[in-house]
Amino acid sequence: MNNSFPVASIADAAWYVRGGRALKTPSPFGVMGIVNLTPDSFYDGGVHHKPLAGLEHALTLLDQGADILDLGAESSRPGAVELSPDEEIQRITPVLAGLRHRAPWATVSVDTYHAATAASVLEQGAVIINDISACAFDPELLDVLVQYKPGYVLMHSQGRPEVMQHNPRYDDVRREVREFFEFNLGKLVRAGVPENRIVLDPGIGFGKVLKHNLELLAHPEDWLGFGRPVLMALSMKSVFGGLLNLAPAQRGPATIAATALLRSKGVFWHRVHHVAEARQGLAVATAFSAAGQ
């Protein structure tokens, strides 16, 4: 890895997934491509929710250089309605089957907080669980993590999606997110989840208003200090709408700019809708940082 980034970021590539495999990327950054299998996502809901469309979109993201595919069957936008595990599994299974056939080498993550969904998709070949709840919405998810030992995205949020933007409050958002990571990292490891499976996501837009989001984005060093990889999921989010008065479909350039800036501050993993464009921005940030040494 390029030594132009902060020392804490050098460990960011050491993310292990189910089977004990360390994720390795061809570049000094990692890109997680979003595959929304939902009819109601805030950005591209309904575009890829049918199995064939979802599979083709996933394959396109792989062609563009996605290191991980993140499949999501339930929208987590503010106000979203919860799906049952059976509904989630029904949406995800055909795409997983297609990927096993057409791209068996792909590293697949599934965005879920349901224990039953997580167990099912891990049996079907997924190797990462991306959980917005820190095992709070379905406590049995922790048992699944201990049993299967997948990669795991530990994300901060305040409240469930249907109510999380109803006047979120913090005394000190940076301190409270740090304390959340400290507590939940310890909880997971004590339960039997290997620490090398865990990455940290501060949960931009999840129970946070613009001021909270900007404070967190300005200080990624708060989580790099935990010695675990950091995943930023900014793509097309309301923070850019609040800053620039843009509709979701107009937020692509702002997403790329923020993604590149965060890489220059040491954040390794980035969850995005537009993989090719994100990789360009990340490559520019890498080159500028290296040239400045």
Q: Which residues are catalytic?
A: 237, 271
Question: Can you say whether the dihedral through the CA atoms of 224, 226, 228, 233 is positive or negative?
Answer: negative
DSSP state of 230: B
Q: CB neighbours (10 Å) of residue 197?
A: 25
Pairing of strands 128-131, 108-111: parallel
Helices (H), 149-237: 173-191, 210-217, 221-224
Q: Is 249 exposed, middle or buried (0-12, 13-18, 19+ CB in 10 A)?
A: exposed
Alpha-carbon span 293 to 155, nearest angstrom = 33
